[in-house]
Chains A and B, each alone.
Chain A
């Protein structure tokens, strides 16, 4: 009898092992059910963990889908270097898409403001890329603990042909039975990290030794204090306003995005354990560093209805 041959009953899986297994299950389910999936790779820690899990899910094969990075042209330079190194190291196909109209009109966060920039260079650009390649499923690294409207989003989150999300008309999602049926033009955003918290992510990075963009680690960097946020001067497109001075400060980033929209925190944490230690005694949650959520309380839900990840 099968169960007796192994003697005593082993313990239940630990939290991290359960999360890991659940994510791998989700990733495989997408690969098996969709004809043309893609993994959104945003270079940050969540993307890094998601990609690491995808490598495990299909080992010894390679994940049967490419990576897609929507490049606003305003990402930190370190991120782009890290992105290209990572894709090469893992042997993954990488598609980079930038909104050509946005590029032509020179859309940027300094000249057009965060909301126009995000809409055109991220939301619209993402839709363009998904349409261009006809992807019917796209993995995203979002977590339910990040933000209130995410807490109710499904693991397989349905998008209509215009990439819109209808929060009041979501498909019920029971057990680990994900409904992968879509009509032509419709798609699914799949969130394998739905049940992870920020602490889980860092613990996993530490135990699995997953490479991360150096920007997460504290270093002396040139920053400007603008509207209460420390903005790093990453290239010469950032013009100083009257009274602003560039200071060298020991800083790091808790989340990564477009450099003009991502605030640094002052920190000495230059190793993973130091980051986790800092997190355990954290006094501000991670999205505080992102300007885009500050606009209004329900801003994320609005963005998501329009097709933002």
Chain B
């Protein structure tokens, strides 16, 4: 064989090897345990033994070990995985770190999560994408409070496969008796958690016994090593057998001839010709074509990112859920769910949050905390609010009905996150249990639908921003910017001005003093109804008379009426004259024009006095919004702290 031939043969072998990797599977797992159980050491051991630790990383590791190490002269394997500076100095893992290694059979993605109770949220985060959990137990200590807590959280997040890694077995003399004792105790305890597989393995992460290689010190153990088990355990099949679910992410419309819906198949399978339905509106069609990652395909299965086009032109957008016609999801605007609270700011019932489920985001409130769960004893306890790392079972009320499945049946269509509307942080994570029908939700039914209920649902305090000022003073410009800003902020608003009132409701009125009074009276009454509906209403009328403005104020509850005096001198208004009205009035073509031949009575104590000369309307709008914010109109509703 010539050198070229050898090279060629080697290349062919590598190409074949790589193509064989095509069928390599992936397993995502989570490691958890309390601080000293040796999680990071275990992962370090897996990385080390699977030879993915390169030499220079090893050299850096030896340097770091001398600086921070806790195991004397040996290499501290945990330093491989504890990433951030602060954590290394404290010697504990405080965030979720993701690590990777591979064998011939599988590639592994490991979420290394902290053990302390105050890091429940981090463990839940790691568990949310894991197929399996490795629970570490120190053989000397046996089952601890945190072992139970971790098993509970793993189970809550729907992990069905568990490895009980009974670590530091070298420190109890490789005792079979001790191993069996812990294993049995855990099996009894975990009986209620409904794990599909539960494998207990005696090991020493530090010395590598039963991690990747079989230990020669425990002849009594005939089960798999950790790595053998991870390589062979069968996980995640049920999601392929579940009914078809497809949350639409993006509408793909390159030209008039093609309209596709892009997304990731959440569960089940779909094929060209299948009947599918949009959950909720129940619009039905058939699959016309499927574009997979490498071109057109005849079918797609759970986990694949595809673009589906349908036979019929139906209106589908981001947030819709395409599903099988035979097995449809629940569609409801109220459901019961477990929530893990992840913010320093407490969860308050009645406060409005953004809820992202699948590709849809709606506003939601917790209508009732049914009970909190003590993560150490699993006891149900009553509670009015939730604080960081607490878990509760709650009723939710959403701004609109959404499709979903119970989390147990489908992690993708049954999970959601909660986002704070002010800070935009992710403050909670939830797992849906079941829809609440109005009949089954007596607490809700007992409630009168009144102004309070409506405004709580909208997550705002109703208010009337009453803009008064001369024609051309800039009222409408400012009001329009304020409304846009409020709208972007997710507020529910409406503007009443000459344009939409004078042409309809008040088209029978002219500009005499009597008609002006009647005009404002009607506007005031409409504003009152809108306040009752929970809206923030922007009224933009010259409204020249104090008494009518006072009349409107009197119609409303204290604090609802905010008079905004847009104070622009008449000379300036005349100069601006955007509609040419002053010119016409001067020529006598308009009668009873405010400021010319009809009086304007400036407000004496307006809530906001805007001296509007040489000011940027954007800046004025911001000032008004700041006023609303400071006085709690935009604080999501907490009122007296009592929920719905």
* A contact set with B: CB distance below 8 Å: 1-3, 5-6, 9-10, 12-22, 24-25, 28-29, 31-32, 56-62, 144-145, 148-152, 167-168, 170-177, 179, 181-183, 186, 194-195, 197, 199-200, 203, 206-207, 271, 273-274, 276-277, 280, 282-285, 288, 297-298, 301
Task: Give the distance in Å from the alpha carbon of A181 to the alpha carbon of B260 in the complex.
Answer: 26
Task: Give the distance in Å from the alpha carbon of A12 to the alpha carbon of B291 in the complex.
Answer: 19
B25 at the interface (CB under 8 A from A): yes
Residues of A contacting B125 in the complex (Cβ-Cβ under 8 angstroms): 172-174
Most chain A beta-carbon neighbours within 10 Å: one of B95, B242, B342, B429: B95
Q: Which of B328-384 contact A (CB under 8 A)?
A: 342, 354, 356-357, 359
CB proximity of B568 to chain A, nearest CB, Å:
28
B86 at the interface (CB under 8 A from A): yes
B252 is contacted by which of A60, A144, A181 (Cβ under 8 Å)? A60
What residue in chain A is nearest B96 (Cβ atoms)?
A152
Name 14 interchain pairs, CB-CB below 8 A, sorted by A.
A2-B274, A5-B274, A12-B237, A19-B26, A28-B250, A29-B249, A172-B125, A173-B125, A181-B424, A271-B11, A283-B54, A285-B57, A297-B60, A301-B85
- Asked whether, in the complex, the Cβ of A152 is within 8 Å of the Cβ of B424, the reply is no
Task: Give the distance in Å from the alpha carbon of A25 to the alpha carbon of B318 in the complex.
Answer: 13
- Asked whether, in the complex, the Cβ of A151 is within 8 Å of the Cβ of B55, the reply is no
B102 is contacted by which of A10, A61, A173, A197 (Cβ under 8 Å)? A197
CB proximity of A143 to chain B, nearest CB, Å:
9
- Asked whether, in the complex, the Cβ of B252 is within 8 Å of the Cβ of A61, the reply is yes
B419 at the interface (CB under 8 A from A): yes
CB proximity of A55 to chain B, nearest CB, Å:
10
B602 at the interface (CB under 8 A from A): no
Residues of A contacting B228 in the complex (Cβ-Cβ under 8 angstroms): none
Task: Give the distance in Å from the alpha carbon of A289 to the alpha carbon of B631 in the complex.
Answer: 57
* B contact set with A: CB distance below 8 Å: 10-12, 14-15, 17-19, 21-26, 54-57, 60, 63-64, 81-86, 94-100, 102, 106-107, 109, 121-122, 124-125, 128-129, 236-237, 240-244, 249-250, 252-254, 258, 260, 262-264, 268-271, 274, 291, 293-294, 299, 301, 303-305, 307, 318, 324-327, 342, 354, 356-357, 359, 411-412, 415-417, 419, 424-426, 429
Q: Are A152 and B299 CB-contacts (below 8 A) given A179-B426, A195-B109, A285-B57?
A: no
Q: Are A1 and B22 CB-contacts (below 8 A) given A17-B304, A152-B84?
A: no
Task: Give the distance in Å from the alpha carbon of A171 to the alpha carbon of B96 in the complex.
Answer: 11
- Asked whether, in the complex, the Cβ of B269 is within 8 Å of the Cβ of A10, the reply is yes
Q: Give me 12 other A-B pairs in contact (C-beta within 8 A), A9-B240, A57-B262, A152-B84 excluded.
A: A3-B268, A10-B240, A12-B303, A21-B304, A21-B305, A24-B293, A25-B264, A60-B252, A168-B94, A174-B124, A181-B424, A206-B15
- Asked whether, in the complex, the Cβ of A32 is within 8 Å of the Cβ of B250, the reply is yes
- Asked whether, in the complex, the Cβ of B269 is within 8 Å of the Cβ of A6, the reply is yes
- Asked whether, in the complex, the Cβ of B85 is within 8 Å of the Cβ of A172, the reply is no
- Asked whether, in the complex, the Cβ of A175 is within 8 Å of the Cβ of B129, the reply is yes
- Asked whether, in the complex, the Cβ of B18 is within 8 Å of the Cβ of A2, the reply is no
- Asked whether, in the complex, the Cβ of B99 is within 8 Å of the Cβ of A151, the reply is yes
Residues of A contacting B293 in the complex (Cβ-Cβ under 8 angstroms): 17, 20-21, 24, 56
Most chain B beta-carbon neighbours within 10 Å: one of A10, A12, A13, A28: A12
- Asked whether, in the complex, the Cβ of B128 is within 8 Å of the Cβ of A174, the reply is yes
Residues of B contacting A31 in the complex (Cβ-Cβ under 8 angstroms): 250
What residue in chain B is nearest A200 (Cβ atoms)?
B107
What residue in chain B is nearest A268 (Cβ atoms)?
B7
Residues of A contacting B56 in the complex (Cβ-Cβ under 8 angstroms): 284-285, 288
Q: Are A59 and B291 CB-contacts (below 8 A) given A5-B274, A175-B128?
A: yes
Q: Are A172 and B122 CB-contacts (below 8 A) given A16-B21, A28-B249?
A: yes
What residue in chain A is nearest B106 (Cβ atoms)?
A15
Residues of A contacting B63 in the complex (Cβ-Cβ under 8 angstroms): 297
What residue in chain A is nearest B265 (Cβ atoms)?
A21
Most chain B beta-carbon neighbours within 10 Å: one of A25, A168, A172, A280: A172
Task: Give the distance in Å from the alpha carbon of A19 to the alpha carbon of B305 in the complex.
Answer: 10
Residues of A contacting B359 in the complex (Cβ-Cβ under 8 angstroms): 29, 32
- Asked whether, in the complex, the Cβ of A6 is within 8 Å of the Cβ of B271, the reply is yes
Task: Give the distance in Å from the alpha carbon of A150 to the alpha carbon of B268 in the complex.
Answer: 33
What 9 A-B pairs have minimum CB-CB distances, sorted nearest first? Answer: A2-B324, A285-B54, A181-B424, A24-B305, A174-B128, A148-B83, A15-B26, A61-B254, A273-B14
Residues of A contacting B102 in the complex (Cβ-Cβ under 8 angstroms): 197, 199
CB proximity of A190 to chain B, nearest CB, Å:
14
- Asked whether, in the complex, the Cβ of A172 is within 8 Å of the Cβ of B98, the reply is no
- Asked whether, in the complex, the Cβ of B258 is within 8 Å of the Cβ of A60, the reply is yes
Q: Are A277 and B11 CB-contacts (below 8 A) given A14-B22, A207-B22?
A: yes
CB proximity of A153 to chain B, nearest CB, Å:
9
CB proximity of B287 to chain A, nearest CB, Å:
11
Residues of A contacting B411 in the complex (Cβ-Cβ under 8 angstroms): 175
- Asked whether, in the complex, the Cβ of B23 is within 8 Å of the Cβ of A14, the reply is yes
Q: Are A13 and B304 CB-contacts (below 8 A) given A1-B327, A32-B318?
A: yes
What residue in chain A is nearest B11 (Cβ atoms)?
A273
Q: Are A12 and B240 CB-contacts (below 8 A) given A151-B98, A172-B426?
A: yes
CB proximity of A309 to chain B, nearest CB, Å:
17
CB proximity of B345 to chain A, nearest CB, Å:
13
- Asked whether, in the complex, the Cβ of A207 is within 8 Å of the Cβ of B305, the reply is no
Task: Give the distance in Å from the alpha carbon of A271 to the alpha carbon of B10 in the complex.
Answer: 12
- Asked whether, in the complex, the Cβ of A59 is within 8 Å of the Cβ of B419, the reply is no
Residues of B contacting A149 in the complex (Cβ-Cβ under 8 angstroms): 83-84
Residues of A contacting B124 in the complex (Cβ-Cβ under 8 angstroms): 172, 174
Residues of B contacting A32 in the complex (Cβ-Cβ under 8 angstroms): 249-250, 318, 359
- Asked whether, in the complex, the Cβ of B25 is within 8 Å of the Cβ of A277, the reply is no
Residues of B contacting A29 in the complex (Cβ-Cβ under 8 angstroms): 249, 359
- Asked whether, in the complex, the Cβ of A167 is within 8 Å of the Cβ of B84, the reply is yes
Task: Give the distance in Å from the alpha carbon of A12 to the alpha carbon of B269 in the complex.
Answer: 12
Task: Give the distance in Å from the alpha carbon of A182 to the alpha carbon of B21 in the complex.
Answer: 39
A3 is contacted by which of B121, B249, B269, B291 (Cβ under 8 Å)? B269
Residues of B contacting A200 in the complex (Cβ-Cβ under 8 angstroms): 107
Residues of B contacting A173 in the complex (Cβ-Cβ under 8 angstroms): 125, 426
- Asked whether, in the complex, the Cβ of A9 is within 8 Å of the Cβ of B18, the reply is no
Task: Give the distance in Å from the alpha carbon of A59 to the alpha carbon of B296 in the complex.
Answer: 11
A152 is contacted by which of B11, B83, B270 (Cβ under 8 Å)? B83
CB proximity of B224 to chain A, nearest CB, Å:
20
Task: Give the distance in Å from the alpha carbon of A194 to the alpha carbon of B19 in the complex.
Answer: 23
Q: Are A57 and B14 CB-contacts (below 8 A) given A15-B106, A177-B417, A194-B98?
A: no
Task: Give the distance in Å from the alpha carbon of A32 to the alpha carbon of B56 in the complex.
Answer: 41
- Asked whether, in the complex, the Cβ of A14 is within 8 Å of the Cβ of B25, the reply is yes
Task: Give the distance in Å from the alpha carbon of A168 to the alpha carbon of B83 in the complex.
Answer: 12
B83 is contacted by which of A15, A151, A280, A284 (Cβ under 8 Å)? A151
- Asked whether, in the complex, the Cβ of A177 is within 8 Å of the Cβ of B356, the reply is yes
Q: Are A181 and B354 CB-contacts (below 8 A) given A15-B25, A15-B106?
A: yes
- Asked whether, in the complex, the Cβ of A177 is within 8 Å of the Cβ of B23, the reply is no
- Asked whether, in the complex, the Cβ of A151 is within 8 Å of the Cβ of B81, the reply is yes
What residue in chain A is nearest B276 (Cβ atoms)?
A2
Residues of A contacting B82 in the complex (Cβ-Cβ under 8 angstroms): 148
Residues of B contacting A18 in the complex (Cβ-Cβ under 8 angstroms): 26, 303
Task: Give the distance in Å from the alpha carbon of A167 to the alpha carbon of B102 in the complex.
Answer: 27
Task: Give the distance in Å from the alpha carbon of A157 to the alpha carbon of B191 in the complex.
Answer: 39
CB proximity of B364 to chain A, nearest CB, Å:
14
Task: Give the distance in Å from the alpha carbon of A149 to the alpha carbon of B81 in the complex.
Answer: 10
- Asked whether, in the complex, the Cβ of A283 is within 8 Å of the Cβ of B55, the reply is yes
- Asked whether, in the complex, the Cβ of B305 is within 8 Å of the Cβ of A298, the reply is no
CB proximity of B323 to chain A, nearest CB, Å:
9
- Asked whether, in the complex, the Cβ of B14 is within 8 Å of the Cβ of A284, the reply is no
CB proximity of B123 to chain A, nearest CB, Å:
11
CB proximity of A258 to chain B, nearest CB, Å:
21
What residue in chain A is nearest B417 (Cβ atoms)?
A177
Residues of A contacting B424 in the complex (Cβ-Cβ under 8 angstroms): 179, 181-183, 186
Most chain B beta-carbon neighbours within 10 Å: one of A5, A62, A144, A274: A5
Q: Are A179 and B356 CB-contacts (below 8 A) given A21-B304, A172-B429, A206-B15?
A: yes
Residues of A contacting B121 in the complex (Cβ-Cβ under 8 angstroms): 172
What residue in chain A is nearest B411 (Cβ atoms)?
A175
Residues of B contacting A168 in the complex (Cβ-Cβ under 8 angstroms): 84, 86, 94-95
Task: Give the distance in Å from the alpha carbon of A297 to the alpha carbon of B15 in the complex.
Answer: 36
